[in-house]
Amino acid sequence: MNDKSDKLITDDGLRLDGRRADEIRPMKIEIGVLSRADGSCYLEWGRNKILVGVFGPREAHPRRSQRADSAVIRYKYNMASFSVEDRARPGPSRRSIEISKVSREAFEPVIMAELFPKTAIDIFVEVLQADAGTRTAAINASSIALADAGIPMKGLITACAFGKVDGQVVLDLNKEEDNYGEADFPVAMTQDGEITLVQMDGHLTPEEIKKGMELVKKGCKEILAIQQAALRKRFETPVEEVSEEKVIEKEAKKEELSAPKTAIIVEEEHEEAREIGAEISEESAEASIIASEVIPDFEEDLEEELEEELEEELEEELGEELEEEFEEELEEELEEEFEEELEKELEEELEKEFEEELEEEFEEELEKEFEEELEEELEEELEEELEEDLEEELEEDLEEELEEDLEEELEEDLEEELEEDLEEELEKDLEEELEEDLEEELEEEEAELEETLSLEKENIEPEAEAEPEVEEEEISTETAEAEEEGEEEKSEGPWKVVKDPSEAGTRGEKDE
């Protein structure tokens, strides 16, 4: 049954899904859908559903695949067995290998692989549902996943396809247009307009290609805008507007928290200053008494000098003590802050190391799973091939045996038929020879009897005429007996056909 409709494009210029010739299918993008991948993207384009995971840059294994001057880009495109109506055979096929190669080459001009020597950047593409244009959809999703992984690129890659349907050039073919259309032309380009991938399937004129390239540029601009909007939504965080009232409230809270400490410190300093002042006042009193007794003239000058010196000393001592206390407090605060920062850094480093270890373990598990799956697929393929070979060999052996049996049966049948034919021919020949011999013998005997009868008639008297009649009767009886014997001999079979040469009256004796 052919599911093709009469027209893929109506007289109004609309396609089966209601789009114009220069319109693309609706696109939906989700970023960061895989937690264990460095970058990931889920893309729906029409009825296409693509999942992409990016891992790396990471150490390339096996080591012989490493490059000393740049990273190795590895692209793996795979279609799930349930992605199409007829179940697809799992594992790599010629088509998936070809798409992986051209897609990798499309990304090589934009990825800055020279920044990560001796590493590998792995891009895994899984087509969950296919509806024409899966390679271009995979390239668009892979570009976003690479950006999500933070891999340096010169720009995003966008891809779209145009084709020829009912003699008209259209953009972004769907499944029906791809199946029953006249041409398919996928293109990938950078955001600067440099083309990195071109493929063609079908027949197009140079004018149709020029028109299609204009449509592709228009479609790629629309796709680029969708990609950029999705990435902005992923990485841009909205900034909250801070009012003056909130700032004043925060400063007031800080002052309230710091005020009690400063008050306690000031009170302690005042108490110490009072004690020191009391001691100094006592010393100054003693000194004034001595001075008044010894040198009454210079009492006032000495007091003033002593007071100034004591005040200076007190100020210096208080200043040093206050400085030491503030320094100790500052050191303690700085040490606490530094310890907190160190703890945070250590925690972050431990978390990173733990995440890296988990990623490495997960990658190893994934590699093992992939290896096991590949081994199972290879084993299944080998088993199928061996079964097919064995079936072919068994069929060939059976055919040969049947042919040999048939040949043997045919040979036996032929031999039996030939033997029967030979026996019949021999019997017929022998019967004919016997009949001829008997006829000849009878003719000869009759001739001899006639001669004898004629002679006897001439020489014997008429009285004895009755005797020849008796003889004739005897001869006739003898001939009858001979005929009966010949018939008996004839009925006995081909092995008793030849007469005994010793018998009288044979052909040879009569010839003599």
pLDDT for 487: 52
Burial (CB count <10 Å: 0-12, 13-18, 19+), residue 160: buried
Torsion, Cα of 474, 477, 482, 487 (10° steps): 180
Q: Residue 301: which H helix or E strand, with range?
A: helix 299-459
CA 492 to mean position of chain CA atoms? 86
pTM of the model: 0.49
CA within 13 Å, CB half, 175 = 12
pLDDT for 301: 60
Please check whether residue 199 is in contact with residue 162, taking contact to mean a CB–CB distance below 8 angstroms. Answer: no
Please check whether residue 128 is in contact with residue 138, taking contact to mean a CB–CB distance below 8 angstroms. Answer: no
| Partner residues linked to 39 by β-bridges | 54
Alpha carbon distance 453, 465 (integer Å): 10
List per-residue pLDDT tens for the chain, 512 residues long. Answer: 455 556 888 888 899 899 999 999 999 999 999 999 999 999 999 999 999 999 999 999 999 999 999 999 999 999 999 999 888 888 899 999 999 999 999 999 999 999 999 999 999 999 999 999 999 999 999 999 999 999 999 999 999 999 999 999 999 999 999 999 999 999 999 999 999 999 999 999 999 999 999 999 999 999 999 999 999 999 886 655 545 555 566 566 555 554 444 444 445 555 555 565 555 455 555 544 444 444 444 456 666 666 677 667 766 666 666 667 667 777 777 777 777 777 777 778 777 777 777 777 777 877 787 888 888 888 888 888 888 888 888 888 888 888 888 888 888 888 888 888 888 888 888 888 888 888 888 888 888 888 888 887 777 655 544 455 545 555 566 566 655 555 555 444 555 555 555 555 545 444 43
For residue 374, give the 3-state DSSP assignment.
helix
Please check whether residue 57 is in contact with residue 66, taking contact to mean a CB–CB distance below 8 angstroms. Answer: no
pLDDT for 249: 65
Sign of CA dihedral 377, 379, 382, 386: negative
